[in-house]
A and B are shown apart, each in its own frame.
Chain A
Amino acid sequence: MTSSVGHVTPQSLHFAEALPLQSGAQLRDYTLVYETYGTLNAARSNAVLVCHALNASHHVAGTYEGQAKSEGWWDNLIGPGKPLDTNRFFVIGVNNPGSCFGSTGPMQIHPDTGVPYGADFPVVTVEDWVDAQARLCDALCIEQLAAVLGGSLGGMQALSWSLRFPDRLRHCIAVATAPNLSAQNIAFNEVARRAIITDPDFHEGHFYAHNTLPRRGLRVARMIGHITYLSDDAMEAKFGRRIRGHGSLPVDTGNTGLAYSTQAIEFEIESYLRHQGDKFSEYFDANTYLLITRALDYFDPARAFGGDLTAAFAAAVCKFLVISFTTDWRFAPQRSREIVKALVDHKRDVSYAEIAAPHGHDAFLLDDPRYHGVLRAYFDNIAKEAA
């Protein structure tokens, strides 16, 4: 029997000691918001950290009391009896600094100026986030995590954990991720950033003072993102060439119902993208979007080793599970195989599953039985080790 972790309540921790950042700057006086599910065992050895991706948060599983549709973003994976079973593991979701969901970020007041950070929030990297997460583990008195788990940008954090704190995790589970972004990926991010920055309502990142939001930029950024998270086939299956409001009416009949407008929504896919963009622009912070896409761009553990990923992974000692999805063209299987190769070169324990799911990058958030089956089996074995 599987069930939900039920109602959950976010917690927050204030850190007085400044966090040195990769850029040379520092984040001082910051707060991390997090949630936990399950119970930490007496040996404090059953903790699993879940790292979030671009637009997610510490709210990984469960629901908020009195809020409909408030399930955490990985609720299908985490809960009693679920693949990451909270009857056995103590699961931690933490919101990264720079985000807009509670941890210190650009929307919050800069302690020096008394106004929101806005564009002055320091550029944060995957490594900085991992350092902040490690401090949270310190505060929770967790010396070693049973596992660090993440998908996409979250997978990059999981990989970074294995390199920055090799002895502080026993397993690294990296899903739908890559050892760095391709030029094409950086290009998509840059288009999204330019959409935001060139929105007249952006006000160079200080739009809070103007009591407005760069909604148009955020909408376009989100639309681009959504295109890249889906496979061509998945988009075809979901929307095809369907005309909005006309079901599957063939478009080649005399009475097509077309508006012959360049600006009205004609196709279902347009409607979907606009809806996603509208929703997103109301809840997501523009400066956070810039920061997080930049963190994606910068991630490249091989860079310090002349591009040699194998050399970069010399530091890692934990066991690895790497998972990719065949139709994910944003973080293609080939990129996961590069990670596997670097680990094999060091004779590390690694398993790799390449799931033939049709959904593209989004597959990592869905509950394909092959995908969840492998995760369940892997976590079962971790639980046996920890017992």
Chain B
Amino acid sequence: MSDRKDMALIAELVPKGSRVLDLGCGDGEFLAFLRDHRQCTGYGIEIADANVLACTQRGVNVIQLNLEEGLALFEDQSFDVVLQLDTLQHLRNTEKMLRETARVGRTGIVSFPNFAHWPNRLHVIKGRMPITKVLPYQWYDTPNIRVATFADFEVLARRDGLRILDAFGIQSGAPVRRWPNLRASVAVFRFERGAAG
């Protein structure tokens, strides 16, 4: 999530003073933003050495873990918000992490590239995999091992008993609430564990 406007939009979903767990926190930029602008506390989780160093340099709490191993370190409902920003598409155990997110956090916020954004659809109609600002990789070297659409996530959330509190797209730093599956390159969901979950 390099775009600062995207970051500000998603930060607005995080109540001030929240205790936050940021899964796949990268260089800690977003956590530092939440700390400095929304008085949040908490931890980032990262696997990459360079990101652990960058977080340490920023003075952001970072815990070096492989998300594929789950979140055994964290108790149920021990965070106000668990973030999975641009992380889900890199995980093998996407569904398990989604359940873990809902277990550990009172609310979860997920963002990921929306594969059904119309320029992507055009690429596919022309017979090629999309290469865009949000999906900049060739099919053979992409770190995105999961590709999903805005609509796909709604289905999975329902399947896993997550209650969607808010859902919208982001395009060019602005929220997209009308036809986000078509009009937005980034999908954002805020959810909580449903009664059955």
Contact = CB atoms under 8 A, between A and B. Distances in A.
A and B interact: yes
B61 A378 contact: no
Interface string A323-359: 0000000000000010011001101011111111000
A351 B73 contact: no
B56 A344 contact: no
A374 B56 contact: yes
A340 B43 CA distance: 11
Interface residues of A, number: 22
A344 B73 contact: yes
A27 B59 CA distance: 41
Interface stretch (B47-55, B114-122, B142-150, B152-160): B47-55
B62 A351 contact: yes
List of 3 A-B pairs having minimum Cβ-Cβ separation, nearest first: A377-B56, A377-B57, A354-B64
Given A340-B63, A341-B73, A344-B74, A351 B53 contact: no
Majority DSSP secondary structure for residues of A touching B? helix
A355 B47 CA distance: 10
Contact of A353 (B41, B52, B59, B73): B52
A232 interface: no
Nearest to A349: B61
B25 to A, nearest CB: 11
A371 to B, nearest CB: 10
Contacts, number: 51
A377 B50 CA distance: 12
Contact of A351 (B56, B74, B75): B56
A351 to B, nearest CB: 5
B19 interface: yes
A223 to B, nearest CB: 33
Given A340-B73, A344-B73, A344-B74, A351 B61 contact: yes
A65 to B, nearest CB: 36
Q: In the complex, which of the residues B63, B74, B78 has the most CB atoms of chain A within 10 Å of its own CB atom? A: B63
Given A340-B73, A344-B43, A374-B52, A351 B57 contact: no
A380 interface: yes
11 contacts: A345-B78, A351-B55, A351-B56, A352-B62, A353-B49, A353-B62, A353-B64, A355-B49, A370-B53, A373-B53, A377-B56
B151 to A, nearest CB: 36
A337 B57 contact: no
Given A344-B74, A380-B57, A370 B49 contact: yes
Contacts of A378: 56
A341 B71 CA distance: 11
Given A337-B73, A351-B63, A353-B62, 13 more contacts: A345-B78, A349-B61, A350-B63, A351-B52, A351-B55, A351-B61, A373-B53, A374-B52, A374-B56, A377-B53, A377-B57, A380-B57, A381-B59
A337 to B, nearest CB: 6
B110 to A, nearest CB: 22
A353 B50 CA distance: 11
A345 B76 CA distance: 11
Contacts of A373: 53
Contacts of B74: 344
Contacts of A353: 49, 52, 56, 62, 64
Contacts of B56: 321, 351, 353, 374, 377-378, 381
A117 B70 CA distance: 52
Interface in B74-89: 74-75, 78
Nearest to A370: B49
Given A340-B73, A344-B74, A347-B41, A352 B53 contact: no
